[in-house]
Every structure is written in C-alpha cells, then in structure tokens.
C-alpha cells in the first residue's frame, strides 16, 4: 500500500492518534534547569499534520459540510516534557535490537543510554541479546538462555564508530506472552524496541499483552530499515549510509561496463517491497541506464519489453548499467509454494541471477557478443558505519524515544515527517508499507536520467 494512498484515504483518520499514558506525570523532569523552557513541549495539543498539502486540507474541510466533521490527521509532537511519570531512581530499562542489521544501530543504543544515564539519571539499563530471541528463558528455573548485559556510558564509548549492533540482532521469536513474562522477571519498566515494521508490530502485540495483565511497562519503538518503507517516517536511520554504499557499487559496475566490449554492469540492491534505496542510489550516479523496482511490473519479452530496450541501448551506447531492487520482477517466476523467514517475510526469488541468465540468453540469440558483470553488495549495505548525517539522526531518535518514555507514554513509535519528530501509535504501523511513489520527483528524475520507459509492455 503506497504512502500517498494512505495519506488521502478517509479511513486513515479513523486510526487513533492519541498516545496511551500511565497516568499523570507529576515529577519534575531532571532536565528542567538544563534545557531552555521553549525546548519543552508544553501543550499536548501541539500536533504535527501528517499531510501538509492544501489539496488534502481542502478535501477534509469540504467533507465536513452536512456530515460529521472529519479531523485532520496529526500526531503528537515529540520532545521533552517538564514533568515525567517514571522515577529515575527506581525505573529499570531494557533495550533490544531486532531484525537485520542496519547502519546506526549502535548509534541509537548509545543515544538511548546517554540520555537515560547522563540526563535523566537512570542507572539500571539492560541490553537484550539477539533480538526477541534474547527473552528466551525457562519458566521454572527462571534462567535466561542468553545473559543480558548492563549498559552504561563507560561501556559504550566509541561504539558509534562500529558497525552492527553490540547487542546482536535476531528475527522472529516474538511471542508476546513469553516476552512479557521475561520483562516481569527482570522487573522492567520501559522497553525500547529497535527494528522494522515486523518488530514494531511485535512491540504493539507486547503492549496489548501488558494491557491484559494490567502491569506498568512502557513500550517505545524506534523504526529501523534501510529499505525506507516504514509508514509515517520520511526517512529511516541507516538509509543514507546504505545509499552511499549502493552508489559505490553502481559506480564500480559502470566502470566495468565501460571498460568492456558490449559491457553490461548488473547490480542487485536491497528493497523487498520498496525501490526507494535503488532509485536514490541510481539518481546519485550519472550514467545508470535502467532502474528496476518492485513498484513497476517488469516485462522482459516483446518489442517494448526490458530485454529489447537493453539490446538497443548496448548497440547504440556500447555498454549499459542496470540497478535492480531485490523485490523487482517477482512476477516473472512461476508460482510455487511460498517460504517465509523467521520474521514472516516471504522469501524472494533471486531476480539478480535470473536477469543475468536471461540477458545472456537474449544476446546469444541475437549472436551479439557481450560481457556481463554481476555485483550483489546486499549485506555490505547493512554492515557498515554511519555517515555524519545518519549519526545525527540516530542521536535525535534516541533522545525523543527517551523523552516519550519518561513522560509515561507507551505503545508508540518515534516518527519523522516535515523535519519534525512525532509520536506515532504503533497500531498505525500495521496499516501498510511505504512504497516508492512512481509520480514522485525522485522517480521522475530517475526516468529523465536513464531515459527508460515509465512502464514495460
């Protein structure tokens, strides 16, 4: 489901936009006296509109005539509050990083601990190893399979210079009953979950189990995906760093293609449901000839199919460079039994190797000599350190997550839109995934740069 469709869908405004809290925040924040007063959010009605376009506002205003008023969709503004709910002297915090790796995980963990430890004065902060798998324990002995580690600033020095996650990552094992049992055994008051849409929906399920038991445990999500496909977040941490590495791979493919007779450089990049990373990386590299994304159905054969366009481009230009997202062209594979990974995602067929074979066959059929170099840097995009801008963004996400938690809020994700950080209900994450808008300036600039067809026929 595309973000643009969601933003203009009246059903969107039925999603609760109020964030649950654990009661009145009565304690004065330790930040008072260290922050300037204007930096605090003084009014919970200070909200950020989801869609700031006039056309959207006008349609909502018109819908109010002769019917029940339809509210503007908006989210709470993120930021520190003057009064907090949790007692810094007794609150216990857990942090978990889930799903696959992404540049910036260590930066977010470091930011969380820095604000909790040095700004709010919390001293009991625990790191959960290997994602939700780290909650595994024996109910009778109360022994955990993997030891949790204590997090403090001295132990986290310079981890922002390291790739990966010091806590380790893992997929699946998101049984909310088992996880809440573990949280109660460890006397946890606040849980920070860092992960993609699957992790965030798992966090919402954990919150609902907490509600059933009527126990005070806050759940705060921080969105993580290099695919940049989480709703309500205009960019996710690690995306910019991944784009830089993807652009580097495309430049290498372009160099290989130019240096060979009828050279073709083929690069497969990450992007299960969204072509945002592939399109952005291609836009950063002048000379890419074709960009294949999941949002545009791929047709190989026929006079207007991709292979015919590729043949003409190579014969006219002498070489060609192709960027393909891993989720593109899945329609080309015969239907078969679906397999899923531990996170519940459908395992994709390898479009890169498939295209490599079909391209070579097409040129052989035309008796045209060709040199094809295939590059798959997928995991290199995830396992790297962050850019300076990504590091700053990670720091802000961690800060706002702590402010929200200490104010007594729960069941929320830190969102980002219109250069504003927001509190997004975790229930809203399940509405769909953000896809590349094929009418956006980004995709139109890719089409202008490559000269490729807007649709394959």
What phi, psi does 56 have (nearest 5°)?
-65, -45
3-state helix, strand, coil in the chain (%, to 5): 40, 20, 45
> In the annotation, is 227 catalytic?
yes
Q: Which of 51, 197, 227, 229 is catalytic?
A: 227
**Which residues, in sequence order, are CB contacts of 232 under 8 Å at separation 6+?**
50, 75, 413, 415, 417, 422, 424, 428, 429
Using CA atoms, how far apart are residues 57 and 36, in angstroms rounded to an integer? 34
**Which residues, in sequence order, are CB contacts of 52 under 8 Å at separation 6+?**
418
Q: Six-digit token pair at 152?
A: 């403090």
Distances (CA, A) of 24 to 79, 92, 361: 17, 19, 68
Neighbours of 18 (CB within 10 A): 10
Using CA atoms, how far apart are residues 327 and 325, in angstroms rounded to an integer? 5
**How far from the centroid of its chain's Cα atoms is residue 335's Cα?**
29
Strands (E), 224-316: 263-269, 290-292
Using CA atoms, how far apart are residues 143 and 174, in angstroms rounded to an integer? 18
Distances (CA, A) of 210 to 58, 199, 207, 215: 40, 16, 5, 6
**Mutual orientation of helices 351-365 and 306-317 as an angle, nearest 10°?**
60
Using CA atoms, how far apart are residues 264 and 255, in angstroms rounded to an integer? 10
Using CA atoms, how far apart are residues 453 and 290, in angstroms rounded to an integer? 9
**Which residues, in sequence order, are CB contacts of 216 under 8 Å at separation 6+?**
22, 189
Is residue 405 classed as helix, strand or coil in its secondary structure?
helix
Neighbours of 419 (CB within 10 A): 7
Is residue 172 classed as helix, strand or coil in its secondary structure?
coil
End-to-end C-alpha distance for the chain, whole angstroms: 23
Distances (CA, A) of 102 to 50, 99, 228, 284, 389: 26, 9, 11, 20, 15
DSSP letter for each residue of 15-78: S--PPPBSS---EEPTTBTTB-GGGS---TT-EEES---HHHHHHHHHHTTTSPPPPPPEEEEP
Catalytic residues: 227
């Amino acid at each position: 489901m595309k973000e643009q469709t969601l933003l203009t869908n009246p059903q969107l405004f039925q999603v609760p936009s109020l964030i649950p809290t654990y009661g009145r925040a009565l304690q004065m924040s330790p930040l008072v006296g260290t922050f300037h007063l204007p930096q605090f959010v003084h009014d919970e009605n200070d909200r950020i509109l989801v869609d700031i376009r006039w056309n959207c506002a006008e349609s909502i205003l018109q819908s109010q005539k002769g019917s029940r008023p339809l509210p503007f969709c908006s989210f709470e503004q993120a930021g520190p509050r003057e009064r907090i709910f949790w007692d810094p002297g007794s609150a216990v915090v857990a942090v978990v990083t889930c799903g696959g790796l992404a540049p910036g995980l260590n930066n977010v963990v470091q930011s969380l601990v820095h604000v909790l430890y040095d700004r709010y004065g919390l001293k009991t902060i625990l790191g959960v190893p290997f994602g939700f798998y780290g909650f595994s324990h024996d109910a009778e002995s109360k022994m955990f399979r993997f030891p949790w580690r204590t997090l403090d600033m001295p132990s986290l020095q310079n981890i922002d210079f390291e790739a990966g996650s010091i806590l380790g990552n893992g997929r699946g094992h998101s049984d909310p009953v088992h996880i809440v049992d573990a949280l109660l055994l460890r006397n946890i008051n606040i849980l920070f979950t860092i992960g993609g849409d699957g992790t965030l929906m798992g966090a919402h399920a954990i919150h609902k189990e907490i509600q059933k038991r009527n126990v005070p445990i806050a759940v705060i999500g921080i969105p993580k995906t290099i695919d940049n496909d989480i709703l309500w977040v205009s960019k996710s941490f690690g995306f910019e760093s991944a784009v830089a590495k993807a652009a580097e791979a495309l430049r290498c493919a372009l160099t290989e293609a130019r240096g060979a007779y009828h050279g073709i450089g083929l690069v497969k990049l990450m992007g299960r449901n969204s072509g945002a990373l592939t399109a952005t990386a291609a836009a950063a590299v002048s000379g890419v000839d074709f960009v294949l994304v999941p949002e545009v159905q791929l047709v190989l054969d026929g006079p207007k199919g991709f292979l015919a366009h590729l043949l003409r481009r190579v014969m006219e230009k002498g070489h060609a460079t192709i960027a393909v997202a891993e989720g593109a062209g899945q329609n080309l594979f015969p239907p078969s039994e679906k397999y899923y990974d531990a996170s519940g995602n459908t395992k994709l067929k390898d479009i890169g190797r498939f295209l490599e074979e079909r391209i070579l066959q097409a040129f052989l059929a035309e008796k045209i000599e060709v040199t094809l170099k295939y590059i798959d840097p997928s995991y290199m995009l995830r396992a790297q350190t962050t850019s300076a801008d990504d590091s700053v963004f990670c720091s802000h996400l961690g800060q706002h997550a702590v402010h929200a938690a200490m104010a007594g809020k729960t069941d929320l994700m830190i969102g980002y839109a219109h250069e504003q950080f927001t509190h997004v209900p975790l229930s809203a994450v399940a509405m769909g995934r953000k896809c590349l808008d094929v009418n956006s300036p980004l995709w139109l600039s890719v089409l202008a740069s490559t000269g490729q067809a807007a649709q394959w026929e």
